[in-house]
Amino acid sequence: MLVCHFCRHEWNEASLEQQFGLDTDISQLRGTTIASGAGNIQESTKDVLTLKCQACGSEVIVNTAEALQSRCHWCRQTLSVNTQIPNGAVPDGLLPFKVPREQAIASIDEFVKKRRFFAHPTFVKEFAPTEVVGVYLPFVTIDANAHVTYEGHGEILRRSYMVKRGDRQVQLYDADVFHLGRAFDLHVDDIMIESSGARADQDTSKNTNNIINAILPFDVKEAVAYNANYLRGYTSERRDREVDHMGGDASERVLSIGRNRANELTTQYNRGVRWETETLQLQGTRWVSLYVPVWLYSYYQTKGSGAGLTHYVAVNGRTGTTMGSVPVRQGRLIGISTVIGIVGTIIGGTLAWLAIS
Give the pLDDT of residue 279: 96
CA atoms lying within 13 Å on the CB side of residue 229: 11
Q: Given this model, what pLDDT does residue 81 score? A: 52
Please give the residue that has the higher pLDDT: either 56 or 320.
320
Distance CA 48, CA 32 (A): 29
Q: Is the pLDDT of residue 357 over 60?
A: no
Nearest to 275 by CA among 161, 198, 201, 179: 179
- Taking only the tens place, the pLDDT of each residue in 122-178 is 888 888 999 999 999 999 999 999 999 999 999 999 999 999 888 889 999 999 999
Radius of gyration of the chain (CA): 26
| Residue of higher predicted confidence among 203 and 28 | 28
Q: Confidence band (pLDDT; 50, 70, 90) for 45? A: very low
Say if CB 327 and CB 120 are below 8 A apart.
yes
**Nearest residue to 259 via CA among 275, 236, 240, 235:** 275
User: Would you say how long the chain is, in residues?
Assistant: 357
Assess whether pLDDT exceeds 70 at residue 84: no
